[in-house]
Homo-oligomer: A and B are copies of this chain.
Amino acid sequence: MVLKLGGSVITEKDRPETLDGPALDRAADALAGADRSRDLVVVHGGGSFGHHRADEHGVGVESGTGDAAAAFAVHGAMTTLNRFVLDRLHDRGVPALPVHPLSAAARGAGGELTLPLAQVATMLTESFVPVLHGDVVATAGEGVTVLSGDEIVVRVATDLGADRVGLCSTAPGVLDGDGEVVSRVSSLDDAALGGSDATDVTGGMAGKVRTLLSLDAPAQVFGIDGLGAFLAGESPGTLVD
């Protein structure tokens, strides 16, 4: 099972490098209550940690920087957030271990991602909970570029054969034109239902839905209220498959 914790769920999106402590506590509580007999990989986004620093230094998914100090500023913001997540999980007895993508991954000149996962697979067999995150990654011809949490989710779910993928977002699911949660999305046409009065969320969500549709595993999109249910095997929010 692969769980993505949206960066804007666990941070305050509008304030640089500000944790949403109560939300992270709730997420950590839910993870502490999950059935430990199932393998779980957690991936979190950057929220106001990663995005702020990346914007500041002009680093994106396609355009990079060769400035090591800039790369390290973005990476350091992400590892700080990762440390907050790990601390909350350890406080609750969740055997979480960090996996920093900068230390493991590389991108070729054509954009192709190398992300070997023997470390994650071994952590799982040893009953740990690997916690990955959006990061910067060394990229041929670009210095470092941004590697998004969503891209990591897809790679981990695909390469490790996840049964189920969960996306915990700020919205309670994929919304229709009336702002109601759609129970199931099976094509991009369904996902285009979202109204234009919520373009940010909808725009971001449409991209996420496209990505989730490309997975073999069924995916569930839900808000933090649905996290416990998802971890218990239920189907909160929207099923994307």
Q: Which A residues lie at the B interface, using CB under 8 A?
A: 66-69, 71-72, 75, 86, 90, 94-107, 114, 116, 118-119, 121-123, 125-129, 137-144
Given A68-B129, A119-B137, 17 more pairs with CB closer than 8 A: A66-B126, A68-B95, A69-B95, A72-B90, A97-B138, A98-B102, A98-B103, A103-B104, A104-B116, A104-B119, A106-B121, A114-B116, A116-B118, A122-B140, A123-B138, A125-B140, A126-B141
Q: Which residue of the partner chain B has the closest CB to A68?
A: B95
Q: Smallest Cβ distance from A92 to chain B, in angstroms? A: 11
Pairwise interchain contact B102-A97, C-beta atoms closer than 8 A: yes
Q: Smallest Cβ distance from A159 to chain B, in angstroms? A: 13
Total copies of this chain within the assembly:
2
Known: A104-B104, A106-B119, A118-B114. A68 touches B128 (CB 8 A): yes
Q: Smallest Cβ distance from A75 to chain B, in angstroms? A: 7
Chain B residues closer than 8 Å to A100, beta-carbon distance? 98, 100, 103
Pairwise interchain contact B138-A119, C-beta atoms closer than 8 A: yes
Known: A71-B97, A97-B72, A99-B103. A140 touches B126 (CB 8 A): yes
Q: Smallest Cβ distance from A82 to chain B, in angstroms? A: 10
Chain B residues closer than 8 Å to A67, beta-carbon distance? 95
Pairwise interchain contact B116-A143, C-beta atoms closer than 8 A: no
Q: Smallest Cβ distance from A137 to chain B, in angstroms? A: 8
With the chains together, A69 CA to B128 CA distance in Å? 11
Pairwise interchain contact A126-B98, C-beta atoms closer than 8 A: no
Q: Smallest Cβ distance from A117 to chain B, in angstroms? A: 9
Pairwise interchain contact A128-B138, C-beta atoms closer than 8 A: yes
With the chains together, A75 CA to B99 CA distance in Å? 11
Chain B residues closer than 8 Å to A66, beta-carbon distance? 95, 126-127
